[in-house]
Amino acid sequence: MKTELIMLAWSAALCVILAVPYTLGFIAELGLPTVAGNRENFPAGAGWVGRARRAHANMVENLVPFAALVLAVVVSGKTSSSTALAAELFLIARVIHAAVYIAGIAWIRTAAFAVGVISMAMLLVALVS
């Protein structure tokens, strides 16, 4: 299997895993009946719980274009060592982004986000060239 597809699969797994911390945090704060309910007027989450929820939402937002780019690169036969590196960088950047976002470390979070965007740009350049 192509490295790009493996990184896409691991990125999808990361996206699913990122829902766990804030869900457990909400259960601890609000109780299982509230979390299992319809979530009307549900709080955004404070502290690390809110940051974890936002980290997950950010991953969802970035996974969609990353997946489209990876699939387009693979289907078009434009994979290379550069596209493999770009996919690896994306996953590494997203793991770092999630960890530092949850920990509340702003500038490193921003840098990790930027690396993820740059890695998607690398895939786009490979696709259109």
- Which tens digit of pLDDT belongs to each residue from 54-78? 999 999 999 999 999 999 999 999 9
Q: What is the pTM of this model?
A: 0.92
Structural domains of the chain in order of their starting residue, each with its CATH number:
3-128 (1.20.120.550)
- Mean pLDDT across 37-55: 90
pLDDT higher than 90, residue 40: no
The whole-chain average pLDDT of the chain stands at 95
> Quick one: which of 129, 3, 6, 118 has its CA closest to 65?
118
Helices (H), the chain: 3-17, 19-30, 32-36, 47-75, 81-103, 106-128
